[in-house]
Amino acid sequence: TISTSFSGQANAPVAIELYSLTGTKLFSTSTTSGSYGEVNYALPIQDVSAGTYFVRVISGTMVQVTRLMKVAQ
């Protein structure tokens, strides 16, 4: 599991998605941001193999895409 945060619109729905490099959606969940627009979330990445992935967070008209690299242990 990896934890990260995002700041967006206050009390707004937020979609969190994990994609492979080929664009395959591997994980998707939704939540609601806090009163100041903050979102803290954990991604369950224990079942994905080592490699590069993209995390996409959508809140209203705001979109944030972050590259995630999982290394073998």
Flag whether pLDDT at 6 surpasses 80: no
Strands 25-32 and 51-59: unpaired
pLDDT tens digits for range 7-23: 777 788 889 999 999 99
Write down the pLDDT at residue 8.
Answer: 76
Flag whether pLDDT at 1 surpasses 80: no
pLDDT tens digits for range 27-62: 999 888 877 777 888 888 888 899 999 999 988 888
> What is the DSSP secondary structure assignment for residue 49, as one 8-state letter?
P
Estimate to the nearest angstrom the gap between the alpha carbon of 36 and the chain centroid: 19
